[in-house]
Chains A and B, each alone.
Chain A
Amino acid sequence: MKTRAIYLTVCGVVMAGIVHIAIVLMIPQFGSRDAWNLLSKSNDLWTFADMGPGSEGEKLLANTDPYFRLGACTFDLSQSGLRLQGDATALLWSASVFDENGAVVYSLNSRTAINDRLDLIVLTPVQMVELREAPPEEIDRAVVVEAEITKGFVILRQFMPDDTYLQVTNAIMRNVVCGPYHSRPQEVLG
């Protein structure tokens, strides 16, 4: 009887281990509170959404830095690449490209960008090959990133030292453009 009880407890502990591992590994697949799920529900694809005070997205993401204004853009690379552009600013900004699971694929900040200006192109490997065949002029000024993802989102963080920068920050965020990017140039005959 006693050995039976010990045997059953050991079975229970082994099963606890399996359940534990299964829960941890299944959260990325079945979790619904992750950033991609929340953002793709509230934002349209290819639309840069300012998540500043008073906006719909203000309370969407947890644990954000009060000194930074966040903006997000969701994308789907199955048809075209992504281009995210903004004005040059001396204030610190940074941006990260996330995949559907919320893992950072690429990140940059205003110092690693060209002339402090946000100009980011994200392409799949196939689109990258097309781009290399006939490099268009704009890739000299843009940060071009190859990513093996289809869906994802970009988070832009714009530093706002205090409330006196509110108008400047509003203007910066208003001028950010997020849209599809087609690298294939016009067919040249001959």
Chain B
Amino acid sequence: MRLMVQILFVLAIGIGVGSVTAWFSIQRSHGIGAINIGVWTAWPFAGGSQADPYTVARVISDSAVPLGAAEGLAFETVADEDGEPLRLECAYRLEGSTPPARLWTLTPYRLDDRPIESVGDMPVHASSHGLLWFPDGTFHLTVGGPPAPGNWIAARGEGRYRLVMRLYDTPITSSSGLVDPVMPRVIPLGCPT
């Protein structure tokens, strides 16, 4: 009887702790196989055959199709530069420039991967195609909050979200050591509501 209790105790710890830590490290594997630029994180090997087991498991359980190296690289962030989680109630300004790319797109997603609904004709995502730029090649893009002059997208609603910036046809997937890549800052502008 005592032996049974002891075996059950070991099994409970093993299966319980093992599966919880596995789930967490797959869902939140933000350090493994990743590169970080500012607040942004990318998994350059997510699509390759050299991907680590955590990244592979994450891609599979997300039903995602990662970008191949010749296609581009996706960066994402769930927090602003103060480390606070991104919230749909709040407004942010993306400021700066991106690594060289033929095209980039910026899309907000809810944490459960649902897209953010657009209200009327207001844009909910942006791309480098049709953006207002400063003469020095940098840009400002306001995300959320009331409609703003310049570049603005309407990521509005409630709850946390993440921003995904995808760089298409970018040399940083092949020559990351040559240049010091920069990504835009994510500056919090406050939460009006």
Q: Give A contacts to B, CB under 8 Å.
A: 4, 8-9, 11-20, 22-25, 27-28, 31, 33-35, 38, 60-68, 70, 92, 94-99, 101-109, 111-112, 155, 157, 159, 161-162
Contacts and interface: CB of A to CB of B under 8 A. Distances in A.
What's the dominant secondary structure at chain A's contact region? mixed
A12 B17 contact: yes
B68 A11 contact: no
A68 B16 CA distance: 41
Nearest to A33: B63
B7 to A, nearest CB: 9
Given A28-B57, A67-B125, A92 B14 contact: no
A112 B14 contact: no
Contacts of B72: 94, 109
A183 to B, nearest CB: 24
A56 to B, nearest CB: 15
A24 B13 contact: no
What's the dominant secondary structure at chain B's contact region? mixed
B28 to A, nearest CB: 13
A18 B154 CA distance: 46
B61 A33 contact: yes
B9 interface: yes
26 contacts: A11-B13, A12-B9, A16-B14, A16-B17, A19-B17, A20-B22, A27-B26, A27-B60, A27-B61, A28-B57, A33-B61, A38-B63, A61-B65, A63-B113, A63-B164, A94-B71, A96-B65, A98-B65, A101-B56, A102-B56, A107-B47, A107-B68, A107-B70, A109-B70, A109-B102, A112-B70
Given A94-B70, A161-B130, 20 more contacts: A4-B6, A11-B13, A15-B15, A16-B21, A18-B18, A19-B15, A20-B25, A24-B22, A28-B57, A33-B62, A34-B61, A35-B65, A63-B62, A67-B125, A68-B105, A70-B65, A92-B103, A96-B65, A107-B69, A159-B103
Nearest to A26: B57
A9 B63 CA distance: 36
A28 B49 CA distance: 12
Interface residues of B, number: 54
Closest 6 CB pairs of A and B: A107-B68, A19-B18, A12-B13, A15-B14, A104-B47, A96-B68
Contact of A96 (B23, B67, B103): B67
B56 A23 contact: no
A109 B173 CA distance: 13
A112 B70 CA distance: 8
A64 B65 CA distance: 8
Interface string B63-93: 1111111111000000000000000000000
B69 A104 contact: yes
A14 to B, nearest CB: 8
B12 interface: yes
A15 B169 contact: no
